[in-house]
Amino acid sequence: MTDQGCTSPNPDHRPNVMVVDDDAEMRALLRDVLERDGFHVREQSSGDELVPMLECWAPDAIVLDKEMTGADGLDLLSYIRRRHPGTSVILVTAFGGSEVEAEALRLGAAYYMDKPFRVARLLEVLRAAVSQAARGVGAPVGRVWVVDGERG
């Protein structure tokens, strides 16, 4: 089940992260890992759910799957960057390659990661993204290739 409301108690003021993926198991895995690492996590299963949520809640970072039912992750990335330029977007995909990476970075992705990726590497990327946003540096721009758990 995904979040529907705009209010989300965060009394500890932990970094806010949105996970957007149509794979419920992936969302649950990432939510559990990120919450254990100190992030306040909300999740959405589609762009149709994400867009209204962003009208009233701006996360520090979004982990966004490229291939989902409905809106394409690249279209959502473009929308997010226009509406929330201070939010870092980490685009993840199992259907990537150099053209997808180049387009993601051109559209403003802070990071690009190929699935499968190491969760430890995603945590590093999220910490860097949130840290730079908190310092007012804006969304970092970088390239991360991770294939079968190995950084490339």
The C-alpha atoms of residue 146 and residue 143 are separated, in whole angstroms, by 10
107, pLDDT greater than 90 = yes
148, pLDDT greater than 60 = no
Domains in the chain and their CATH numbers?
16-151 (3.40.50.2300)
116, pLDDT greater than 60 = yes
* Per-residue confidence (pLDDT) for residue 88, from 0 to 100: 92
* Per-residue confidence (pLDDT) for residue 137, from 0 to 100: 57
pLDDT tier at 143, thresholds 50, 70, 90: very low
Could you read off the pLDDT of 60-102 as tens digits, one per residue? 999 999 999 888 899 999 999 998 888 999 999 998 888 999 9
Mean pLDDT, the chain, rounded, equals: 84
Please spell the DSSP secondary structure of the chain, one letter per residue: -----S----TT-PPEEEEE-S-HHHHHHHHHHHHHTT-EEEEESSHHHHHHHHTT---SEEEEESS-SSS-HHHHHHHHHHH-TTSEEEEEESS--HHHHHHHHHHT-SEEEESS--HHHHHHHHHHHHHHHHTT---------EETTEE-
* Per-residue confidence (pLDDT) for residue 42, from 0 to 100: 94
132, pLDDT greater than 50 = yes
